[in-house]
Amino acid sequence: MEKKYSILLYYCYAQIEDYEAYREEHHLFCIENNLRGRIIISPEGLNGTVSGLKEDCERYMDYVKSDPRFADTEFKVEAHDQMAFAKLHVRVKPEIVHSSLRHINPRERTGAYVEPIEFKKILEEQPEDTVILDVRSNYEHNVGRFKNALTLDIENFRDFPQKVKELEHLKGKKIVTYCTGGIKCEKASAYLLEQGFENVYQLHGGIIKYGLEAEGKDFEGKCYVFDNRITADVNKVNPTIVSRCHITGKPTDRMVNCANPECNAHIPMSEEAGWLMDGCCSEECRKNPTRRPYDGTGYYQKNTNHYNPLKGVKREPAKIAQ
């Protein structure tokens, strides 16, 4: 049965001087075209995950690319059977991906792209002089990662520069970075180059594009995504499960956010354990009086006001037709 909806994942590093006005324009376009998702607009560019009917998503892609600043934006498009978001958020932030690398402009220098088919060959051959480096956070690579990839113990991408000190022994190797959609690699690979690593590359379009163009071979587990799905299937060739339930220890690739909003940990949890623990990671969280009702998904909408950290301007959340 044909899936009527699309999920778009994209980013574009491009200077936006009128970011406040553009946020208003962009937000209005999304409302008028029945789109939902999370979009970040900053002085350095755009970053978004958007869902809607296929035809509405087509209009959105045309709209973004019609602006000369974003004409070369590459969209990863996945078919879906329903909306992947319950609401629309278009926010102004200092960066399009939170990092401690604001001084880096990937338009000026970044790691060379490795296309998915070429990356597939690297995974199959595993050359001794090549390192596959995952630049994502722990909760992301714990549920899925490429075979034999080097992962870093980081809770947030902003911690990446600190971990680079531990990679000094790899300076003579070819390093290929990867992340979900490519956005983190633009800055991570650029930072590695800045720190004296000379042979640095990045998987073009990230895990999602690799799944779309190379059937996801040798990606073990599932890919953590930032929409209602929480995780997405990538590997159509040799899928495996690499994560274990936080409660029972049994293999599972099902991810939830802890129902305690004061914790909100991203953890693997089986359906059985989810109901047993009311969606919580521990008895302490389960007994928390602010615990959110668990509906079996482990996904919770954030009820936050829009905030412009560049100007300190608050707005009421957009009201979207349900």
User: 12, 30, 57, 179: which one is catalytic?
Assistant: 179
Q: What is the dihedral of CA 175, 181, 183, 186, to 10 degrees?
A: 30
Specify whether 285 is catalytic. Answer: no
Q: Which two tokens stand for residue 9?
A: 């994942």
Query: Measured between alpha carbons, how far is 169 from 184 in angstroms, rounded to an integer?
Result: 22
Q: Is the dihedral of CA 135, 140, 146, 150 positive or negative?
A: positive
Query: Please, how many CA atoms are within 13 Å of residue 306, restricted to the half-sphere of its CB?
Result: 22
The stretches of the chain forming alpha helices (DSSP H) are: 19-32, 54-66, 116-125, 138-141, 160-164, 183-194, 206-214, 271-276, 283-286
Angle between helices 19-32 and 54-66 (to 10 degrees): 160
Beta bridge partners of 114: 203
Beta bridge partners of 77: 8
Instruction: Please state, as a whole number, how many other Cβ atoms lie within 10 Å of the Cβ of residue 66.
Output: 9
The Cα-based distances of 142 to 30, 206, 221, 231 in angstroms read 33, 17, 9, 12
* Residues noted as catalytic: 179
